[in-house]
Structure 1
Amino acid sequence: MSPLSAGRIGALMLRHGYLLRSSWPRLLDMIYWPTVQMLTWGFITLSLPLPEGVAGQGLGVLLGAALLWDVLLRAQLGTSMSFLEEMYARNLGHLLASPLRPIELLIAIACVGLLRTLAGMVPTSLLAIWFFGFSVYDMGLALAGFFGALVLMGWAIALFISGLVMRVGMGAEALAWGFVFAIAPLSAVFYPVSVLPPALQVVAWGLPSAHVFEGMRQLLLTGTVDGAAIGLAFALDALYLALGIFAFLRFHDGARDKGRLLQTGE
């Protein structure tokens, strides 16, 4: 078996780069929704009758949560959409008939998903400074940990969904748009895990996102970084990402055996 080829991975990433460059609606979409959510939560917070000192903390916590939530959402959607673009173009069969290996396809769409995430989040975070005087970059190095943990979780979800689309057809496409929202209540994005019922708290602590958002709130409210929370988030990410890669490759093998790689129907 040939080793991984950076050239083949880069070629597929370049294809998606050309696709995005030639389509302003796609570029606008990456920035539009994160910006709308950031503005919505910012103005909601400003409208709350909070004491002056508390209002500043509340604004930071809610805006920080909104921005980090979009990291998870965009990492998952960006990666899933990179795969679905190939399905929409009926190009998947051609790609996999080439020397491109499934693991290289997986790496390429994950990298494109990361670039889509950065393209959306960097402008939005700068707009948050302009509109509300809140800089997510004040979190320092902890921000890199939060960002990385959420991106890895988004990749894991996207790879599972992409593999499922290969295996069962475009009928599973809806999961790419809705699955991550189903786990939002358990991720404790805008509230602490402690407000959940005890049974759901157990489930929530099994999600990397819950540890990230709890760690973010602790950092913004107390100024201390919970290294254990970040470490546990990455440990869970390693487990889920391994499962996502395994599922993607197994679904690919099942789709190939069933002759579904050339089909894009329901």
Structure 2
Amino acid sequence: MSAGAPEYTPQALRQNNPAFSAGRVLAMVSRHVYLIRSSWPRLLEMAYWPTVQMIMWGFMTQYLAGHANFFAQSFGLLLAAVLLWDVLFRGQISFSVSFFEEMWSRNLGHLFVSPLRPAEMVAALMTMSLLRTILGVVPASLLAIAFFGFSIYELGLSLAAFFFSLIMFGWAIGMVVSGLVMRFGLGAENLAWAAIFALLPISGVYYPIAILPEWVQHVSYALPSAYAFEGMRSVMIDGTVPWGLMLRGFLLNAVYLAIGAWIFSLFFQAARRRGLLLQIGE
């Protein structure tokens, strides 16, 4: 060993490598700070969940404060709302997660080397979303009968309208989220969960749209989900099926599905041109 060269013996390494180093801690913290700073979805997520919870439960509390006999008049209303909300949630998240699984396994590029077309992939993701939603919601609905004596199937034919209206809206959101992740990478993956819950406070899931501020009501009635949940309450409280509301919801779904398909196609073409389909993965 030449003179003046540092020693790399185990004893010397232990002396120069303390059991706990504030410098190493700071290096790891800095690494995650840079990661968050470079990813706007991560920055958004930190303030997102507390804000959504505060808004939803604030409106819920405001509604219940003026309706003391709410639960006595409408037994099962919240259970129906929970089950139908799960249709929307699972419809969207199942679509997105099925797509993410191809990205996580770095299989997306392999798929599109084959004759598979984007429209065919979207159709397959919709089918998987439908299957996963049915497998998730049906057992829960049967347990609601066993535990609470409440059957959502008493909604009759209107239940099918609510179900398909909500799952179609979930597909539209799933296409947008999948397109964004395909274009901007897995850093935007949290949008799959964040996007759907942003709609929870303004969709009238647990309370009528009328309880919202007037300007928010205009936003709510631009969402197909609002018509489904308003229709559900009309059936359970008044015993009438508002087919007019359901028709508006399905017309909006057609618009959102077209927008979702356009965005998915737009980001797919951009990702293909930039060679991102072969680069994204865990």
Shift of 1:110: 1.1
| Distance across 2 between alignment mates of 1:58 and 1:91 | 49
**141, 146, 160: which one pairs with 2:157?**
141
**Which runs of 4 or more aligned residues in structure 1 lie more than 2 Å from their structure 2 counterparts after TM superposition?**
54-59
Native 8 Å contact 2:105 2:281 kept in 1: no
Equivalent residue, structure 1, for 2:30: none
Shift of 1:265: 5.5
Which string of whole-angstrom CA distances, capped at 9 and with x for unpartnered residues, describes residues 150-204 of structure 1? 0000000000100111111111101001110011111010000011011100000
Structure 2: gaps (5+ residues): 1-67
Give runs of aligned pairs for residues 51-200 of structure 1, distance below 5 A. 55=71, 57-200=73-216
Shift of 1:121: 0.4
Instruction: Tell me the TM-score normalized by structure 2.
Output: 0.74
Shift of 1:59: 2.8
| Distance across 2 between alignment mates of 1:181 and 1:259 | 32
**In 2 relative to 1, CA 57–95 (structure 1 residues): closer, same or farther, beyond 3 Å?**
farther
Shift of 1:114: 0.8
Correspondence 1:217 to 2:233? yes
Native 8 Å contact 2:104 2:281 kept in 1: no
Which string of whole-angstrom CA distances, capped at 9 and with x for unpartnered residues, describes residues 75-99 of structure 1? 0000000000101111000001111
Letter in 1 for 2:219: V
| Distance across 2 between alignment mates of 1:109 and 1:123 | 22
| Distance across 1 between alignment mates of 2:172 and 2:252 | 11
Which string of whole-angstrom CA distances, capped at 9 and with x for unpartnered residues, describes residues 87-116 of structure 1? 111100000111111111111011101110
**240, 256, 270: which one pairs with 1:240?**
256
Q: Identity percentage over the alignment? A: 53
Which string of whole-angstrom CA distances, capped at 9 and with x for unpartnered residues, describes residues 127-171 of structure 1? 000011110000000000000000000000000100111111111
Equivalent residue, structure 2, for 1:258: 274
The structure whose Rg is larger is 2
